[in-house]
Structure 1
Amino acid sequence: MQHILDDDVINVQASCPTDPERDFTEAELADCYRLAWQLLVSGVSMPSTRKLVLSIAMRGSATPQQAVEFKHMRARFKKMRFACANYSELHEYPESLHSITRLMGRFQDAFKNGRKLRALWSGVKLWGRLRTSYFADLHEELVKAQFSTLGSFQRYIATENQHLAEGAPEEVLLTARQFHELRKIVSRRIALNDTRRALTPSPEFDTLSLFLATVNGLMGKVNDDLVLEKMRSKIDYENQTFKLPEEIASRIRALVLSQRS
């Protein structure tokens, strides 16, 4: 959990490792999935979570303590969603899990930015989505997931790397939506590395984590600004383009290059 809380801490001195990572085994992929599952089911109480969501929604804002509690709870759902993408044979999110996590993000954006009506609407929807029966169905779907084979995992990582490479050449222009999708790949890569280093700690994994957290933190600042501008109707989120900051693009290029070593 501490790895998750540190996944957007910026350290501009952090460098991308140049040594190739040790290949996963199929047993490690399964263990990583199980660890994300354990984090979710051991740390989320549906009655307490629903009470927290409803309290924030009714007021349209969160106290500092509530904001932290919600952030930690949402992190567990996000970790499980990333695990489904990284370690399941289908390499995709179950729609029920994705819809909850996406709604959590919208709810958090709303109450963080003082959008009380939006917070009320998304919060009530989330409160309903977190009912016990819905979570029980999700529980069953996650338990039945088939773990990834090595071949499937390697193809998935290669595809993710290709998307990163296409999103970060010099002078690239991205829409806010494309930027968001690029950041999600970085987030999935952070989850991949942090879960692995929780199971098999190593200095190499720690170094990569510091680097990825810096990329994620830099992208997070840009994303927060884009979300706020979208809420204020000041940008066309789907079509208006902007230049990817070089401090982000250069680091993504370094990451892709290291994966090809």
Structure 2
Amino acid sequence: MSNIGWKRYPQDVVGQLFLAVENNDVINSETAELPLIQLGTSQQNIQNFYALCLQFWSDGFTREELLSLINILLAGKELTTEQHKRYKYIRARYKHLRFAQRLYSQKHDADKIFKATTVYLGHLQDGFKNADKKSINYYGRVLRLLLSRPAWNWVKRSLENLQVDNQVGFEYYVSHQIKQLTLLLDKPNLTGTQFHDMRKIVSQQVSFFDTWRSIENNPPEVYAISRFLANINGLMGQKHDEMVADKLSGTREYETPTPLDSHIRECLEQLVGKIVRVS
């Protein structure tokens, strides 16, 4: 399928997605009864969802703006409150589009440079949140290379020419992800990497339902699933921040096997129990 000329959405739809993404890891108790969750979606939705995610990323910031924030950190200065917020929002746009590439593309993976940029933006954020100058210097310099104009142009072409998967391929991928989540839930203890892998599956599903509810103006069931997933994402994000801080301080090694928090486990088991599997 040719993907030249992606659909463009009005600003109110993009704004809805911005609000959803801003709250996609906020701990909440909005959903008393989680609806049944269908894993599949239509071919048109696959196309349209990616289009919105691409627009959300491409219209949200400039390469020069992101580089200026990185250069401030490399100069040994701290970001202002407003600059910190801008960095957070830019990184959120990267993460949302990376999830979209994993969900909707034929390869179910992100462009290598785009994926590396997203990961290193996270490591840089961990660095300045924990005042780790070594991390700031290393990841800041790598990011300057990844955001050079040739790399940027390569990424833009890759994103715009992405080939979306068909309905069957999408359903197979998501089913496999849920199977992996279930297998991880069966483990009594999880390493840092396993915990992070589990959260990535949850985060991808948050992004899917956030995009869906933004396009269709918050259908009640889709909204409920989105907020339930955001709660799990927030709980797991909070725990992961603790794990990273412990690693940087030398308190605990990141890969030390640890029991999954009982509340997180309960929420994840409720999630898996509501999924209607594709036959």
TM-score calculated relative to the size of structure 2: 0.88
Residues 125, 60 of structure 1: CA spacing in aligned structure 2 closer, same or farther, 3 A cutoff? farther
| Aligned-residue identity in percent | 27
Are 2:224 and 1:207 equivalent residues in the alignment?
yes
Secondary structure, counterpart of 1:18 in structure 2: coil
Deviation at 1:22? 8.2
Offset at residue 250 of structure 1 (A) = 1.2
Counterparts of 1:179 and 1:61, CA distance in 2: 30
Worse overlay, 18-27 or 213-222:
18-27
1:182-235 deviation digits (Å, cap 9, x = unpaired): 111111110011011111130111111110111011101110010011112332
Which of 140, 155, 158 is the equivalent residue of 1:138? 155
The letter of the residue matching 1:46 is R
Does the alignment pair 1:2 with 2:23?
no
Is 1:254 the counterpart of 2:252? The answer is no
2:195 aligned residue (176, 179, 184): 179
Offset at residue 19 of structure 1 (A):
2.8
Cα gap change, 1:52 to 1:183, in 2 (>3 Å):
same
CA distance in 2, matches of 1:109, 1:92: 24
Residues 1:128 and 2:135 are matched in the alignment: no
Query: Unaligned 5+ residue runs, structure 2?
Result: 1-17
**How many residues align structurally?**
259
Q: Equivalent residue for 1:98?
A: 115
For 2:124, the equivalent position in structure 1 comes to 107
2:71 to 32, 38, 54: 54
Alpha-carbon offset, residue 122 of structure 1:
1.2
SS at match of 2:75: helix
**Residues 1:30 and 2:47 aligned together:** yes
Distance 1:164 1:64, change over 3 A: same
TM superposition shift of 1:42: 0.8
- Partners of 2:189 and 2:122 in 1: CA distance: 25
- For residues 38-57 of structure 1, the C-alpha deviation after alignment (integer angstroms, 9 at most, x for no partner) is 01111120111101111122
Q: Secondary structure at the match of 2:258?
A: strand
Unaligned stretches of 5+ residues in structure 1:
none
Asked if the contact 2:39–2:174 (Cα under 8 Å) also holds between the matched residues in 1, the reply is: no
| Deviation, structure 1 residue 153 | 0.6
SS in structure 1 of the partner of residue 190 of structure 2? strand
Contact 1:230 1:237 survives alignment (8 Å): yes
Q: For 1:20 and 1:119, how far apart are their aligned partners in 2?
A: 41
Q: Give secondary structure in 2 for the equivalent of 1:101.
A: helix
SS in 1 for 2:59: helix
Kindly indicate whether residue 62 of structure 2 is the aligned counterpart of residue 69 of structure 1.
no
CA–CA distance in structure 2, aligned partners of residues 50 and 259 of structure 1:
42
AA matched with 1:232: S
RMSD: 1.6
Question: TM-score normalised to the size of structure 1?
Answer: 0.94
TM-aligned CA deviation for residue 35 of structure 1: 0.6
